[in-house]
Amino acid sequence: MEWEFETILGIVILLIGIGAFAFILNARTKFPEGSELRDIAGSFIPVVVFLLLFSSWHTVREAFHWKKTFGEAIEYPEYLFISLAYIMLFFAARKIYNMAKKYGITK
């Protein structure tokens, strides 16, 4: 396996994502059970999981040149993972907006 720039960058991004996942899990445990902040922190867990799946798949695909071997269809899981991450991000953002609305921060 040749260490290309994209593979190295993918590994670095994965490490950052794992760190973000650890921070979210840690932050979630700091909030009291049933609090809105705990729920919001928890709603970011699937976002980070899908981003990690996307990054993992992309990095492995590039490192082992699966696109050349299996063709264009090997990219479809990436589209699925990133789409699910955006959908989960939408719901997390909506939770934050609703909380801001509840406390009169927004009109």
Residue 107 domain-assigned? no
Domain range enclosing 47? 5-102
Residue 21 domain-assigned? yes
Tell me the pLDDT tens digit for each residue of 32-65: 999 999 999 999 999 999 999 999 999 999 999 9
Rg (CA), the chain: 17
Residue 26 domain-assigned? yes
Cα gap 58→79, rounded to integer Å: 10
Residue 78 domain-assigned? yes
Quick one: what percent of the chain has pLDDT higher than 90? 88
Q: Retrieve residue 93's tokens.
A: 């953002």
Counting the structural domains of the chain, the total is: 1
φ, ψ for residue 73 (rounded to 5)? -65, -20
> Which pTM does this prediction carry?
0.90
The amino acid occupying position 61 is R
Question: Chain-wide mean pLDDT for the chain?
Answer: 94
Residue 55 domain-assigned? yes
